[in-house]
Copies of this chain bind each other. A is one copy, B any other.
Amino acid sequence: MPTEQPVVLAPSASYHEVPDEEFDVLRRIGEQWSRSPGGRRLSRAALPADPDLAARVRGSSATSRFERLVRVAEEGFVASSPGTVVATERAIRPPSPLGRIAYLVRRVVVGPPLATTALVQERLSRVVALAVLSSDALSSVAYGTEAMLSVLVLAGAAALPASLPIAAVIVVLMLTVGASYRQTIRAYPRGGGSYIVASDNLGRWVGLVAAAGLMTDYVLTVAVSVAAGVAAMTSALPVLGPDSVALGVAVIALILAANLRGIRQSGAIFAVPTYAFVAGILLLIAVGLGRAASTGWRVAPVPDLPVTETLGPLLLLRAFASGCSAMTGLEAIADGVPAFRPPEWRNARTTLTWMVGLLAVMFAGITVLARLDGAVPSPHETVLSQIAAHTFGRGPLYGYLQAATTLILVLAANTAFSDFPRLLYFLARDGYAPGLFLRLGDRLAYSNGILVLGVAAAGLLVAFQGVTDRLISLYAIGVFLAFTLSQSGMTVRWWRRREPGWARSLPVNACGAALSGCVLVIIAVSKFTEGAWVIVLLIPLVVLLLSRIRSHYVAVERATAPRPPSSERTSTSPSSVVDGALLPSEQAESPDEITHLIVVPVARLDLPALRALAYAASLTPPVLALHVATDDEDAQRIRSSWSAWGDHVPLEVIMSPYRVVAAPIVNYVRALHRPRPDLTITVVLPELVVTQWWQHPLHNQVSLRVRTMLRVHAGTVVTSVPYHLGAG
Contacts and interface: CB of A to CB of B under 8 A. Distances in A.
Copies per complex?
2
A514 interface: no
A87 B656 contact: yes
A657 B112 CA distance: 13
B637 A614 contact: no
Contact of A586 (B717, B718, B727): B727
B667 A622 contact: no
B640 A434 contact: no
8 contacts: A87-B668, A115-B658, A116-B658, A552-B695, A559-B607, A562-B610, A615-B680, A717-B719
Contacts of A441: 659
Contacts of A619: 596, 619-621
A329 B637 CA distance: 40
A62 to B, nearest CB: 10
Given A588-B614, A624-B51, A714-B724, A607 B657 contact: no
A10 B650 CA distance: 29
A611 to B, nearest CB: 6
Contact of A637 (B18, B56, B562, B634): B18
Contact of A594 (B46, B555, B614): B614
A134 B22 CA distance: 79
A381 interface: no
A728 B677 CA distance: 11
Given A116-B631, A709-B95, A713-B95, A48 B595 contact: yes
Interface in A685-699: 688-690, 695, 697-699
B640 A18 contact: yes
Given A640-B18, A648-B30, A680-B615, A658 B606 contact: no
A76 interface: yes
Interface in A17-62: 18, 22-24, 26-27, 29-31, 33-34, 38-39, 41-44, 46-49, 51-53, 55-56, 58
Given A11-B634, A91-B667, A113-B658, 10 more contacts: A22-B641, A33-B648, A77-B654, A84-B653, A87-B657, A586-B727, A589-B614, A590-B614, A591-B618, A717-B720
B688 A711 contact: no
Interface SS of A by simple majority: mixed
Contacts of A395: none
A644 B654 CA distance: 48
Q: Which of A87, A436, A592, A713 counts the most chain B CB atoms within 10 A?
A: A87
Given A607-B561, A614-B593, A30 B645 contact: yes
A12 B638 CA distance: 12
Nearest to A631: B12
Interface in A592-650: 592-597, 604-608, 610-611, 614-615, 617-624, 628, 630-631, 633-635, 637, 640-641, 644-650
